[in-house]
Structure formats: structure tokens, C-alpha cells
Structure 1
Amino acid sequence: MLQVTIISNNAYFKSGLRNLLAGMTGGNDTGDTSPLSFSFQHDPCTVPDIIFRDFMVTINMTSSRSYRNVQARQERGQVIHIPFTCRGLTIEEIAMKVRKIFLVASAGYGAATHTDFYKSAGLKRYLQLSVTENNIMLLTGQGNDTSEISRLLHRSERTIGTHCRNAIKKMGMENRLEFYKYASCLAKYGEGNGITLCI
């Protein structure tokens, strides 16, 4: 059974997501009859499988759940980060996004990085971040502006801007501010490790 936790200073976000998840355990959310199987994490000495934050979801892929193995797991890249923005989405769309997150968490890291998985999960490979878009996102999260990123990647500022706009669109974000907040969250919690999966 998957362990889930919600980390947020936004009480409305936390309460709303907790209620949505609780409703999905009965299988009565969007007419789907398959309930989610998980429990909210209560043990502070273990690492949850899924961590919901304000702008991102982190999926920890490992059989070991002790905190001392977090660094080793991140070094092996067995962490998946998913942008999680809900503004402008209906409850049904948010519930579908949550179901895909649980599908990824249940599938395991190996399956989640294969092309066949994208098809079975209803994800489009071409809607995933390119290597350049991912690098721009990581550099943005580290506090670099467009001119610094342009210099570091040996690309024009216009090209950097185009890649940034494409990444924003793929991640389902509204603007550069949401992109910056996600990139900052990734820099703070993801330490640049793992992969970003756009759902």
C-alpha cells in the first residue's frame, strides 16, 4: 500500500487535496469504480511513496523507506518529480491527474521511464521535457536569469526564451511565475536529481 503525505503551508490546498484523496479511496470520484489504495503517512521516521507539495509531487521509488536512504535513492535517480498545478482545472481533471500520479507510483521507476508506459498511462512522449528544457528549468531554479542561462548553455537569449515557453506549456503552467516556483521547489527539494514527468 502506498504511503502519501501532503506538505504545504496553504491550509486550503492541504484540506482540499486531503478530502479529494479520501473521496477517491471509495471509487466514487469521477464515476471510476476503481478506488485508490493508499494510507496517509503518520510515521515521521519513514519516507512516503508520494509527497504532494504546492507546485510539485515527488514520487520515491524504492523498497527501502528509511530516511537514511533518501540521499542514496536520489543519487541513483529513483525519484520522479511531477509539476502539480491545479488552477483552472475542474475537480474531475484534478482527480484524473492524481490517478495518473498513483499509476506512476505503482508502476515503479523502471516502467515509468519506458516509452511503452507513456502510452498505457495516457501520457504523450512529445509532451515531456527535452534535455535542454530540463537544463533550463534546473538553472532557473538555481536562481539564474535568462542571460546567465544563455551564457552557460551557449544559446541565444531568444532560444532560451522559446525553450522556457515550451516547457511552461508542456508542464501545464499558466506563466513564468508558476514555472519559476516549480523550478525553485525542484532546486530546494529535488536537488537536481531524478526525472521530471509531465502529466
Structure 2
Amino acid sequence: MSKRQNSKHKIDRRLGVNLWGRAKSPINKREYGPGQHGQRRKKPTDYGIQLMAKQKLKGYYGNIGERQFRRYYAEAVRRRGDTGDLLLELLERRLDTVIYRMKFVATVFAARQFVSHGHIKVNGKRVTIPSYSVKDGDVIEVKDKSKQLEVVVVATQLNERDVPDYVEVDHKAMKGSFVRGPKPTDIPYPVQMEPNLVVEYYSR
């Protein structure tokens, strides 16, 4: 098991939030951090608050690596508009995020693996890059041979979350489309995200 995959079980407790709103989150049982010093609470500094905001956002999207996450920030800065809003939109356009939103898989980690293993097609062509940026109107579908996989069938039936308005999906056909880039208020985060603090962190 990779370090990234293994860390997903600890992210919630380290951050002290139920990041994905799942019933099985360990934070539901123990609302303090891991380790012998986990129950100590210190007043965070401004830097600590900004760092926590960045870690929450990185963690939510599958614990994205720092180098890649910084590239998303740089791209958001380059574009015209609110940097924080653009950062969220870029993250929501990731292919693994889109199939997670479409409920083809249960978790963002499963989404990354599902794409990497070649189960997804975009506009009729197989794509194996989880960070592939989906464009408005792109059609995303599960390959015919993968539509009956248990992980897919179970995920579509989960009641933990709903499909947001900026994607359309037909679970019978296992096919959907990315309608538009979302605004921050459109994104169904189970916890409050603070992209403005992430911008402040990188602007230091």
C-alpha cells in the first residue's frame, strides 16, 4: 500500500474534521488527533490556520502532492478572476473528482485508482490520467466491461451524498457529462473550505 493510500485513514483525525462526511470516519469516535499528544490543543498561529486550510483542501481531493497542488495554485493566479474560486474550479475539473461527483465510486481515492486502471472513457477515448482536466460538455462514461463491477454498483446506491448540479449523470447507462465549472457555493463540501486562506498561504 502506498504512503498516499495508507494516509487516507489518518487524514480526518490529523485535521480534526470529517473531511468527506463519511459515517465510517474515525473522527466520529475520537475527536482528537492521533498519537500520545493528540489531545493537547494549542491556539494556532495565522500561519497554522493557513496551513490547515491548505491541508484540508489537498486532503479532500485525495491528498494531492505539494508540487502538483502548487501548480494548480499557479494556474489559478495566471487566470483572470478570483484566485481562490479558480483554484476550486481547477480541482473540480480533475477527472477523478468528476467521477467521484458522479458517484461512480465511493471515495476520491477509489476514483484515482479507477481512472488509473483504465475503467473510464472521456468523449469515447480511454483516459488513465486522474488529473486530466475535464472541459465543459465532456462526456464521461464507465467502460462497458467495468459497468457491472461491484465497486461501481455499490457506489451509485450510496446515500451519503448527492450529485451536484454542474454534472449530469445516468447511472443506468453509467454515463454523464460535465456541464460547467462550479462556483464555490455549488461544491458540496461536508466541511467548510477556505480557499482565501490557501491563497494567503502561498502569497507569503
Q: Same fold (TM over 0.5)?
A: no
Normalised by the size of structure 1, how large is the TM-score? 0.29
Normalised by the size of structure 2, how large is the TM-score? 0.28
Relative to its length, the structure with more helix (as a share) is 1
